């Protein structure tokens, strides 16, 4: 394990996809003395390691679409850039719509995506039934499909960035909790950790679902709250077509995609309470199994091979907070609300631009500022699964 340095130009707290991408993008631009801290034994065991691996262009707001337009090509080029393969599968995402109100919103969303250069297709109910088979959608009214959406491996992205950052001289440490932050004259001064104290003027809070807890250390309210989500993977299903896409029954927040020779399925509990419980909710799992079998009857013949629960890091408008806060030197990179894995590559790069160049230039993220909540400038995202 690396020794904890006594000083650092930047301390990034949280070794999920956001922290890993930020440390890599700072170090690869020659930024010196960058330090990444992760409290667990391994990097990427928080939300990132529990995520479903989906990557998509299909969002409902311009800023999220533009983030995907930069981030997904970075995932495609990841191996070339870092030497780490990330198992990209372009299986496509199909949003199946069964409610008139969703059809109305998605029709406009697809128009917005196409106006920005994203080639999402609009589908009839019949086309949804054909593409989604063996899922059963007698009630599908319409849908949207993008063949460039798909899957990638979260742990490969985290470790690819961390190994590459280390080669550029960054120090990345596990088993080290940030337990306090000292502020002098409203400016970051020191980070207290379980392994000792570090002097620094700059901290990036990349603590994912636990970001608000870190904010409390400096009495800063951070509107990011943890919300449990879960999925399971079935045993092998022979009848599953090789080209089965990532299928989303939008009205039920129920999704399916191939995972090896089995199927991964998740369903969001609309009544889940804010909290950081990461145990499987067995009662909800039963409801999920019922709904999943209804949509894909052949699931009834298959057992569960693995299950996972984790935390979304939600904000009130389901968009992240990226940038400075009222405490000088304290930056936020958090609140990705269920779609942070795919946005990790670009958002770490944008954070590096903010710290090195003074502003993010690759994508205009001025609307994703900390003050938007107090100033009531929320920008709701509809395509949250
Ligand atoms: C079930 C599920 C399915 C998902 N599916 C998808 C998907 O298909 N596609 C997608 O794009 N996104 C998905 N997401 C969302 C995605 O996983 C998150 O948005 C993203 O991983 C957030 O990354 P992060 O680095 O901000 O947080 P995390 O990965 O949680 O990293 C934060 C890290 O900070 C560490 N930490 C916290 N406090 C401290 C401290 N005081 N000191 C040191 N370390 C600390 C934690 O241990 C953790 O490792 C899913 C999430 C879940 C839970």
- The answer, yes or no, to whether any atom of ligand 1 lies below 6 A from the CB of 340, is yes
- The answer, yes or no, to whether any atom of ligand 1 lies below 6 A from the CB of 15, is yes
Beta strands in the chain (DSSP E): 10-13, 34-37, 54-55, 93-97, 121-124, 142-146, 150-151, 171-173, 178-184, 187-193, 196-199, 203-205, 225-234, 246-249, 254-259, 262-267, 304-314, 321-324, 330-334
> What are the helix (H) ranges across the chain?
17-28, 62-76, 78-82, 100-115, 125-132, 154-167, 211-216, 282-295, 340-357
Task: From the CA of 18, give the closest atom in ligand 1.
Answer: 25
pLDDT at 372: 98
Mean pLDDT, residues 167-174 taken together: 98
Name the average pLDDT for the chain: 97
- The answer, yes or no, to whether any atom of ligand 1 lies below 6 A from the CB of 320, is no
- The answer, yes or no, to whether any atom of ligand 1 lies below 6 A from the CB of 211, is no
pLDDT at 3: 83
pLDDT at 1: 52
Task: From the CA of 229, give the closest atom in ligand 1.
Answer: 1
* 250-287 tens-digit pLDDT: 999 999 999 999 999 999 999 999 999 999 999 999 99
Q: Tell me the Ramachandran region of residue 175: left when phi exceeds 0, alpha when psi lies from -120 to 50, beta otherwise.
A: left
- The answer, yes or no, to whether any atom of ligand 1 lies below 6 A from the CB of 267, is no
* 20-48 tens-digit pLDDT: 999 999 999 999 899 999 999 999 999 99
- What tokens appear for 229 in the block? 């989500």
pLDDT at 2: 64
Task: From the CA of 53, give the closest atom in ligand 1.
Answer: 8
The answer to whether the pTM exceeds 0.95 is yes
Residue 134: pLDDT over 70:
yes
Residue 190: pLDDT over 80:
yes
For atom 9 of ligand 1, the residue with the nearest CA is 54
Mean pLDDT, residues 139-159 taken together: 98
pLDDT at 300: 93
**Percentage with pLDDT > 90 across the chain:** 98
Sheet holding 93-97, edge to edge: 121-124, 142-146, 93-97, 246-249, 254-259, 262-267, 225-234, 304-314
Q: Assign 58 to helix, strand or coil.
A: coil
* 81-116 tens-digit pLDDT: 999 999 999 999 999 999 999 999 999 999 999 999
CA angle 58, 60, 61 (to 5 degrees): 120
Distance CA 286, CA 94 (A): 24
Structural domains for the chain: 10-51+154-224+317-372 (3.50.50.60), 89-150+226-313 (3.30.9.10)
- What tokens appear for 319 in the block? 């968009």
Residue 162: pLDDT over 70:
yes
Distance CA 83, CA 164 (A): 8
Residue 183: pLDDT over 90:
yes
């Amino acid at each position: 394990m690396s020794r904890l340095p006594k000083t650092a130009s930047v301390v990034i707290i949280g070794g999920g996809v956001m922290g890993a991408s930020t440390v890599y993008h700072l170090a690869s631009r020659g930024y010196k003395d960058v330090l990444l801290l992760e409290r667990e034994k391994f990097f990427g065991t928080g939300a990132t390691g529990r995520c479903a691996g989906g990557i998509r262009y299909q969002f409902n707001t311009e800023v999220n679409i533009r983030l995907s337009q930069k981030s997904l090509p970075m995932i495609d080029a990841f191996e070339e850039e870092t030497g780490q393969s990330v198992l990209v599968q372009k299986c496509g995402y199909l949003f199946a719509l069964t409610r008139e109100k969703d059809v109305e919103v998605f029709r406009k969303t697809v128009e917005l995506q196409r106006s920005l250069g994203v080639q999402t297709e609009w589908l009839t109910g019949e086309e949804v039934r054909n593409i989604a088979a063996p899922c059963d959608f007698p009630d599908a009214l319409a849908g949207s499909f993008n063949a460039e959406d798909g899957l990638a491996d979260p742990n490969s992205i985290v470790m690819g960035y961390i190994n590459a950052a280390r080669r550029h001289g960054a120090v990345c440490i596990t088993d080290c909790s940030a337990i306090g932050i000292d502020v002098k004259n409203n400016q970051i001064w020191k980070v207290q950790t379980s392994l000792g104290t570090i002097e620094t003027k700059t901290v990036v809070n990349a603590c994912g679902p636990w970001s608000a807890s870190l904010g409390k250390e400096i009495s800063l309210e951070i509107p990011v709250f943890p919300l449990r989500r879960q999925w399971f993977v079935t045993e092998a299903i022979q009848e599953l077509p090789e080209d089965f896409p990532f299928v989303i029954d939008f009205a039920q927040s129920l999704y399916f995609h191939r995972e090896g020779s089995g199927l991964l399925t998740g369903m969001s509990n609309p009544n889940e309470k804010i909290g950081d419980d990461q145990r499987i909710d067995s009662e909800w799992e039963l409801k999920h199994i019922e709904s999943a079998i209804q949509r894909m009857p052949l699931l009834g013949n298959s057992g569960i091979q693995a299950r996972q629960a984790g935390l979304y890091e939600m904000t009130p408008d389901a968009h992240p907070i990226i940038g400075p806060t009222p405490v000088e030197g304290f930056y936020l990179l958090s609140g990705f609300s269920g779609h942070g894995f795919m946005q990790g590559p670009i958002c770490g790069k944008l954070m590096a631009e903010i710290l090195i160049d003074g502003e993010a230039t690759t994508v205009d993220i001025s609307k994703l500022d900390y003050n938007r909540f107090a100033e009531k400038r929320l920008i709701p995202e509809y395509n949250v699964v």
